[in-house]
Structure 1
């Protein structure tokens, strides 16, 4: 499949099994994988279709789906070992979806040799598509976008999904606020300039592989508190996403205590 065909597949799946359930989930269509970790019939059906279609187009690739990982303890190991793979997050921001927020997304990425080479985010309720190819830029609804660096002398603003850190400051930086609770919205918001950096504790490839590629293609940085670059097969906990190299370096120097308090 070419890049446009993958996007069209995601849009079709959303139109068929996700959007019709938005604010219309029936009793029994919302479950818990673990306490507080929700999954819906839309997640399950969307992942099944996306996995089937990608596997048919790329029979030698390993397809790592979020819901597959919840039931197959070997899935992450197979993904890390694969030379060619795709990640699938059928409904990123499931809690938002369940509670009627439009901030949810379908996300897919392609990984070759441990590196993300293509990424897609489709926000069905916002009708916004983000697409990136390594070395070719990132596009919002077909228009290429870049992220301006934080201006000299301006303190970068940050958000986080690490809830205990909301309201806390890194050094003399402004207090952190909560993210949009959906990586498929968080990463685009950073590119659009709504925030300058993001802190994440968990590192699930289906959450971060598409967006990190997009941020990098827009001119930003994605790495870990120890300074190593983000890689989808690394699975290293703790991620710093930043608008530019200077912001990443400044936040990284201040983030050790924050990540120590992440739980």
Structure 2
């Protein structure tokens, strides 16, 4: 019994191996369902979709994690009622757990529904409120982004490093269209109108987890969005940090699991991006 308990708390290696295994298995299963889902429902708005594949992916991940770590807590998107208030409450209820797995079983469900190959499985593990493992898996490209606190971040076995652009005008930036069309979406549109003229260009591809993974990999110089949830951000935030980047809320305060309005960057353009959003009154 003691040996079994020790195995579950050895540290990053066993946790990361489980996260990788779960993300890979769920991602491969999701890929077989592309274009073949049976039910489609709206959650918070017409931009916030769910299928039985989302639910099946979360069930698979939860079962695997709790098989290895039955004493750990689990917070998955599909186990929470729709809407920002319910999401915030679910995090408050869970964030004091010693070990908390935070899972988005398909980040980019709208893309998945339309067969657009830009969606991911996002899995993070927080220890006493701090993310120590983050994995984002893109099954369409078979790309696995992995980070462990203090040990760097990797994709395809290579260590990632954020980009070197030091001006917004030289930078490719990403954002999203929030599901909350009464509050978050109008704010993000104001930010978009301010950033587009100043950046080299802006991309909106539909997965916050992948956008942050791309910041970590140096493919994007920055990303911001209003009204996200911890399962959208937790794994990607660690990827960015461990690749040498910076992640804060839109007011510049340090990132924690409660942040909903986020800015992630290579660090070099962070202040300029924050200032641009602030000048547009688009920080939430």
TM-score, with structure 2 as normaliser: 0.81
Flag the 1:165–1:96 CA change in 2: closer, same or farther, 3 A: farther
Deviation at 1:175, TM superposition (A): 7.0
| Alignment counterpart, residue 11 of structure 1, candidates 24, 27, 37 | 24
Give the secondary structure class of the aligned counterpart of 1:207. helix
Aligned to 1:236: 259
Aligned to 2:271: 249
| Alignment counterpart, residue 86 of structure 1, candidates 95, 101, 108 | 101
Aligned to 1:98: 113
- Which structure 1 residue ranges, 5 or more long, are not aligned? none
Aligned to 1:35: 45
Instruction: Trace 1:89-238 onto structure 2 (pairs within 5 A).
Output: 89-151=104-166, 155-162=170-177, 164-165=189-190, 168-170=193-195, 173-174=198-199, 177-232=202-257, 235-238=258-261
Structure 2 Cα separation of the partners of residues 164 and 171 of structure 1: 10
Flag the 1:227–1:58 CA change in 2: closer, same or farther, 3 A: same
Flag the 1:68–1:248 CA change in 2: closer, same or farther, 3 A: same
Size of the aligned set, in residue pairs, is 256
* Contact 1:223-1:230 within 8 A present in 2 as well: yes
Instruction: Trace 1:42-57 onto structure 2 (pairs within 5 A).
Output: 42-57=53-68
Does residue 65 (structure 1) correspond to residue 80 (structure 2)? The answer is: no
Flag the 1:152–1:10 CA change in 2: closer, same or farther, 3 A: closer
Deviation at 1:82, TM superposition (A): 2.0
Deviation at 1:103, TM superposition (A): 0.3
Flag the 1:192–1:71 CA change in 2: closer, same or farther, 3 A: closer
Flag the 1:169–1:114 CA change in 2: closer, same or farther, 3 A: same
Deviation at 1:151, TM superposition (A): 4.2
Per mean C-alpha deviation after superposition, the further-off stretch among 196-205 and 4-13 is: 4-13
Q: CA RMSD in A?
A: 2.5
Deviation at 1:123, TM superposition (A): 0.6
Structure 1 Cα separation of the partners of residues 91 and 254 of structure 2: 19
Deviation at 1:194, TM superposition (A): 3.2
* Contact 1:117-1:213 within 8 A present in 2 as well: yes
Aligned to 1:21: 33
Cα deviation, 1:46-105, whole Å, max 9, x if unaligned, reads 101211221232223220000111279452222223232010110110000001011011
* Contact 1:89-1:206 within 8 A present in 2 as well: yes
Per mean C-alpha deviation after superposition, the further-off stretch among 149-158 and 119-128 is: 149-158
TM-score, with structure 1 as normaliser: 0.87
Give the secondary structure class of the aligned counterpart of 2:75. strand
Structure 1 Cα separation of the partners of residues 219 and 160 of structure 2: 14
Per mean C-alpha deviation after superposition, the further-off stretch among 153-162 and 202-211 is: 153-162
* Contact 2:160-2:218 within 8 A present in 1 as well: no
Give the secondary structure class of the aligned counterpart of 2:147. strand
Q: Where do 4+ consecutive residues of structure 1 move more than 6 Å?
A: none
Aligned to 2:92: 77
Give the secondary structure class of the aligned counterpart of 1:81. coil
Flag the 1:128–1:60 CA change in 2: closer, same or farther, 3 A: same
Structure 2 Cα separation of the partners of residues 119 and 261 of structure 1: 26
Structure 1 Cα separation of the partners of residues 92 and 239 of structure 2: 25
